[in-house]
Each structure stands twice: as C-alpha cells, then as structure tokens.
Amino acid sequence: MTRGWRSPGSAPWAAGDPDKRYGPDVALVIVDLQNDFADPAGSLSVSGGATIVPLVNAEIERALATGAAVVYTQDWHPAHTPHFAQDGGIWPVHCVQETWGAELAPELAVCGSIVRKGSHGEDGYSGFSMRNPAGGLPVPTELDETLARGGARRLVVCGLATDYCVKATALDGVRLGYETAVLLDAIRAVDLEPGDGNAALEAMAVAGVTLIGSRPSPD
Ligand code: VGL
Ligand code: ZN
C-alpha cells in the first residue's frame, strides 16, 4: 500500500455519514454515465457499469437535498476522431454525438448541467479539459466555469470509467484546487489491462483524492 491510501486526502469531510457530505459549496460530478459505457450492449461496455446507477441516483438525492449542484459530463465524439482506433487512436467507436450510445443511462436521474467533451474531435479524458487534435494543446471544457458559477469548492466524483475519465477528472479537480472525493462504490474500471482500475485508485489517492467507501467488486 502506498502512503496515499493512509492519507485522508483533500476531502476528509466526505468520509463518514453520506447524508452529511453535501452542502451548497459541494458539487456531485457524474462522469460519462452513458449507454456505450454503462449498458452491456454498449460499444465500450464497462463491466458492472449499469449497477452503479441506483447508487448514483441516491447520491443525487442527497446532493439536491442540501443545495449541492449536480453536474454531468458526457463523452460526445464526432463519427471520426483520432480518439477512435479506426482513425489512429485506441478505442472502439463510442459515444458518437446524437446516437443511443452517447445518451446518459436511461435510469439516471438528470437534475443538473451537462458538460460535453470531445465535440470537435478533441481527445482526452478529463471532464475539465480536452486536447486539441491538431496541436495537442489542452482546451478547457465548461466544467470549471460551471462549478465555479454554482459556488462549488468541493467535489464528489463518481461514474465511468475509473481508469480513464473518473481518474483524469478527479486529478484535475485536485490540481484546480477543489477538495475532491471519489465514491468507490459508484465507479467501475475498463481494465484494458488487469489492474488498471486499482492503479488508478492508487494514483488518485497519492494525488490527494479522498477515496470513500469500499473498493468495487471485480464483477
Ligand atoms: C472514457 C475511454 C474513452 C471514459 C472515454 O469515459 O472513461 N474511456 N473515452
Ligand atoms: Zn471517449
């Protein structure tokens, strides 16, 4: 175990009673809970992805009850992007704009702003920034501005996938100065290589992300 696991991270307030972790300066950030990742028929289906939806809905209720904002990110790719294997990247075609695969999971309660990423072929995983496909330079999404407008200083992050967009979003959250927690029961990993999900948890913990709850079961 690394030191990170023992450290309380930047968001010790998020541990303990789940009904007490939200308030007006907290935002619940739900990452890419979309059909292509969550549905077993999705093109980049994450094992156990759909099972987190009821847990996420319960968090949404807790958040809204205290005046916390709820914000959703949505992978929103054009039909061709260097992100996809067919165009030189590594991923199967997924979350193409205006298709079923890009829609948020149907059982997910949608009660807040949606921030889309990748709309113009940008690559990248964080809800906060994308990489310009031409120059490779980072381009911010609207997430930071949306959170700031809502008065958030603290983040609770959940969704898909642990080893890509959840990790990148949580790491950027810490980097941008948000006290950031991740809900272990409400995330799942792609695990392209076995162990990727656990490595992502380590990286987040070391960076100061507070990991809350139990580790996801390998289902
Ligand atoms: C994601 C792979 C490709 C994610 C997005 O949401 O974690 N993973 N695009
Ligand atoms: Zn993607």
* Beta carbon of 161 within 6 Å of any ligand 1 atom: yes
pLDDT for res 1: 43
Share of the chain above pLDDT 70, in %: 95
Q: How many CA atoms lie within 13 A of 110 on its CB side?
A: 15
173 lies in which domain range? 2-216
Distance 26 CA to ligand 2 centre (A): 26
Catalytic pick among 123, 165, 172, 191: 165
Alpha-carbon span 3 to 194, nearest angstrom: 22
Distance 219 CA to ligand 2 centre (A): 22
User: Would the pLDDT of 4 be above 60?
Assistant: no
Can you give the pLDDT at residue 3? 43
Q: pTM for this one? A: 0.95
pLDDT of residue 213 exceeding 60, the answer is: yes
Check residue 121 and give its pLDDT: 85
Q: What is the CATH number of the domain that holds 197?
A: 3.40.50.850
Q: Active site residue: 39, 75, 95, 117, which one?
A: 117
End-to-end CA distance of the chain: 23
Pair 169, 183: CB distance under 8 Å: no
Number of structural domains, the chain? Answer: 1
Asked whether 91 lines ligand 1 (CB < 6 A), one says yes
Active site residue 167: no
Q: How many residues does the chain have?
A: 219
Per the annotation, the verdict on 111 as an active-site residue is no
Q: Which atom of ligand 1 is nearest to the CA of 31?
A: 6
Instruction: Report the pLDDT value the prediction gives residue 2, as an integer from 0 to 100.
Output: 42
pLDDT digits (tens, 9 = 90+) for 123-179: 889 999 998 877 788 899 999 999 999 999 999 999 999 999 999 999 999 999 999
**And the tokens for 110?**
């949608």
What mean pLDDT is predicted for residues 19-27?
96
List of residues 6+ apart from 154 with CB closer than 8 A? 11, 13, 14, 23, 25, 26, 27, 178, 179, 180, 181
Supply the residue whose CA is at minimum distance from atom 2 of ligand 1. 164
Question: In angstroms, what is the span from residue 189 Cα to ligand 1's centroid?
Answer: 10
Buried-exposed string 55-67: b where 16+ CB fall within 10 A, e elsewhere: ebbebbebbbeee
Long-range contacts of 143-150 (CB under 8 A, 24+ apart): 143/29, 143/71, 143/73, 143/115, 143/169, 144/176, 146/71, 146/113, 146/115, 147/27, 147/29, 147/69, 147/71, 147/178, 150/27, 150/69, 150/71
Annotation marks residue 32 as catalytic: yes
| Cα 199 to Cα 218: distance, rounded to the nearest angstrom | 14
